[in-house]
């Protein structure tokens, strides 16, 4: 019986202790709530946006000093460096006035509890004869969204993050992350005139604007590789490759006013890629982009300079042209002479049969196509010829060309020009492997690997043309 009473006594004591703890917890919670007063409190209400002369911020990120000069904002230590307008706008919005929905009524007696004594964020806003200051302390715990304790005029307020985010910035947060300018898609006169890419483990690639023509209502630009060889660039250069150099944005600003040591630390003393882009815009204004790119570091980042006294940090996927090669930009079309420049086109097949097509006045309304004294349909010839010059190689071979002595010749096509001072071009096709052809331009100048199916189509259309059958356009 004594044991039962002892057990009951212990249980009662436990209940009393638990109840007491709950009481004090509840009292503590009630006490904390009683310290907070809801309302609509305006902070920084004595200086309007139009009066602001400067904003000086000291924080763990290094802070910043922003000075207003008429409608422009000057960030100290950012001369000749592009500023992030959206970040500056957040400063302006904060200066307009901060609204707090809560005030800690007994806060000024216990500032250390809110992080407002040891290294708080300090903000000073100066206007025309007025100066206001505030401090930002710790983040308010246990909230669904970020809120901060703010001290203003010796009162502690609770302010949402969006109101004071701009006061957490350092100078680097105010610098634009735009590395290269955006391309103005509405500017019909926009044109890249030169792209030069150099770097470790690659041949220098130089692409120059060759000419423009209007096709189907669109202005089409053509480009020529001038390094490492003089050769037409791919038709995709204009629309797919050169635009990639514009609109490059960094993940973050890594270093402001870098020293030689800073550059060496991120690999920009010996850049992985060095790029120069020359382009023109409206009114033939000429512009240049010059950028240096490091190799990818152990953390998967790379670093970029654009001559603005800033080092930017990027991700490899942000720079799609990083590992561009000659094969990326070279034309894979084997030869594309203008049909109006031709005098004859001669096709000799592997069995020895030969067909010479004569061309007359192809640039005029009275143009003629003749074979063996017989006039062929001009439209069908044009469609045949379009198919011939559209044959594209899978690979362009510039050196160490394969030995063709053991290969079977499939066909040879010779282009002779109206201008007899111009040397004829000859393409010879061989069967290299199963359904793969190898083509040689003008002896051993350069070679091409391609699908034999493309050549089958060309030779099939040739027979249709000779036989007077209609050849329909592929485009």
Task: Judge whether residue 40 has pLDDT over 80.
Answer: yes
Characterize the bridge pairing of strands 155-160 and 147-152.
Answer: antiparallel
Percent of the chain with pLDDT over 70: 90
Strand partners, 232: 224
The yes-or-no verdict on residue 286 having pLDDT over 90 is no
Structure tokens at 58: 């000291």
Q: How far apart are CA 90 and CA 113, in angstroms?
A: 28
2 pLDDT tier (thresholds 50, 70, 90): very low
Q: Please, what is the end-to-end C-alpha distance for the chain in angstroms?
A: 105
Tell me if 155 sits within 8 A of 98, measured CB to CB.
no
**DSSP secondary structure, 314-363, as one string:** E-GGG-TTTT--HHHHB--B-----GGGEEEEEEEETTS-EEEEEEESTT
Summarised one tens digit per residue, pLDDT across range 93-138 is: 888 878 898 999 888 888 999 999 989 999 999 987 788 999 999 9
The DSSP bridge pattern shows strands 425-433 and 395-397 to be unpaired
Q: Is the pLDDT of residue 47 over 90?
A: no
Omega of the bond leading into 436 within 30 degrees of 0 (cis): no
Using alpha carbons, list the distances in angstroms from residue 87 to 80, 138, 200, 419. Answer: 17, 22, 37, 63
pLDDT band at 16 (very low <50, low <70, confident <90, very high): very low
Answer whether residue 51 shows pLDDT above 90: no
pLDDT of 213 reads 65
Look at residue 49 in the predicted model and tell me its pLDDT. 66
Nearest Cα to 123, choosing from 151, 104, 101? 151
Q: Is the model's pLDDT at 408 over the cut of 70? A: yes
Higher pLDDT, 22 or 467: 467
Give the mean pLDDT of the chain: 88
pLDDT at residue 86 greater than cutoff 50 = yes
Structure pTM? 0.78
Check residue 29 and give its pLDDT: 40
Q: What is the mean pLDDT of residues 250-257?
A: 96
Compute the distance between CA of residue 424 and CA of residue 439 in angstroms, rounded to an integer: 16
| Structure confidence by residue, pLDDT tens digits, 352-386 | 999 999 999 998 889 999 999 999 999 999 999 99
pLDDT at 57: 97
By DSSP bridging, strand 121-126 and strand 54-58 are antiparallel
User: Can you read off the two tokens belonging to residue 210?
Assistant: 């060759």
Residue 210, Cβ neighbours under 10 Å: how many? 13
Residue 287's closest CA among 220, 212, 190, 175? 190
Residue 227: strand pairing partners: 206
Q: Model confidence at 218, in pLDDT bands (50, 70, 90)?
A: low
Secondary structure (3-state) at 120 = coil
Mean pLDDT (whole number) for 307-328 = 93
Strands laid side by side in the 147-152 sheet = 36-43, 98-104, 155-160, 147-152, 131-139, 121-126, 54-58, 64-69, 72-75
DSSP letter string over 197-218?
Answer: EEETTS--EEEEEEEEEEETTE
**Residue 196 burial (CB count, 10 A):** 17
Between residues 188 and 416, which one has the greater pLDDT?
416
CA distance 97 to 18: 47
By the 8 A CB rule, do 180 and 246 touch? yes
Closest CA to 306 of 292, 326, 285, 324: 292
Q: Which residue carries 């690979």 as its tokens?
A: 395
């Amino acid at each position: 019986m004594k044991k039962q009473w002892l057990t009951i006594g212990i249980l009662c004591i436990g209940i009393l202790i638990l109840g007491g703890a709950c009481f004090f917890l509840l009292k503590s919670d009630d006490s904390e709530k009683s310290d907070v007063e809801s309302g609509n409190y305006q902070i920084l209400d004595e200086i309007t946006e139009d009066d602001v002369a400067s904003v000086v911020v000291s924080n763990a990120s290094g802070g910043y000093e922003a000075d207003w000069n008429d409608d422009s904002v000057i960030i100290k230590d950012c001369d000749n460096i592009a500023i992030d307008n959206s970040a500056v706008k957040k400063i302006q919005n904060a200066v307009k006035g901060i609204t707090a929905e809560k005030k800690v009524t007994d806060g000024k007696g216990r500032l250390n509890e809110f992080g407002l004594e040891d290294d708080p964020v300090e903000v000073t806003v100066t206007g025309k004869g007025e100066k206001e200051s505030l401090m930002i302390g710790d983040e308010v715990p246990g909230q669904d969204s970020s809120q901060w304790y703010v001290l203003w005029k010796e009162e502690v307020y609770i302010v949402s993050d969006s109101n004071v985010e701009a006061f957490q910035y350092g100078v680097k947060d105010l610098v634009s992350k735009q590395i290269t300018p955006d391309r103005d898609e509405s500017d019909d006169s926009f044109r890249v005139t030169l792209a030069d890419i150099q770097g470790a483990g690659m041949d220098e690639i130089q692409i120059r604007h060759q000419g423009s023509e209007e096709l189907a209502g669109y202005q089409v630009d053509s480009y020529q590789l001038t390094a490492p060889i003089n050769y037409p660039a791919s038709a995709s250069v204009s629309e797919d490759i050169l635009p990639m150099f514009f609109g490059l944005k960094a993940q973050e600003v890594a270093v402001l006013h870098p020293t030689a040591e800073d550059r060496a630390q991120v690999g920009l003393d010996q850049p992985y890629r060095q790029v120069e882009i020359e382009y023109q815009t409206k009114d033939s204004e000429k512009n240049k982009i010059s950028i240096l790119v490091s190799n990818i570091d152990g953390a998967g980042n790379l670093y970029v300079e654009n001559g603005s006294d800033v080092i930017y940090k990027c991700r490899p996927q942000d720079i799609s042209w990083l590992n561009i090669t000659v094969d990326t930009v070279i034309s894979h079309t084997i030869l594309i002479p203008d049909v109006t420049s031709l005098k004859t086109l001669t096709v000799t097949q592997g069995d020895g049969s030969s067909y010479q097509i004569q061309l007359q006045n192809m640039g005029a309304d009275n143009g003629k196509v003749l074979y063996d004294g017989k006039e062929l349909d001009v439209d069908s010839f044009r469609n045949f010829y379009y198919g011939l010059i559209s044959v594209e190689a899978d690979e362009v071979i510039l050196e160490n060309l394969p030995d063709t002595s053991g290969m079977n010749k499939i066909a040879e096509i010779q282009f002779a020009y109206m201008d007899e001072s111009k040397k004829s071009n000859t393409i010879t096709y061989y069967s290299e492997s199963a359904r793969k052809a190898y083509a040689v331009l003008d002896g051993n100048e350069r070679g091409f690997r391609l699908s034999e199916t493309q050549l089958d189509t060309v030779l099939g259309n040739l027979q249709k043309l000779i036989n007077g059958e209609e050849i329909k356009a592929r485009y």
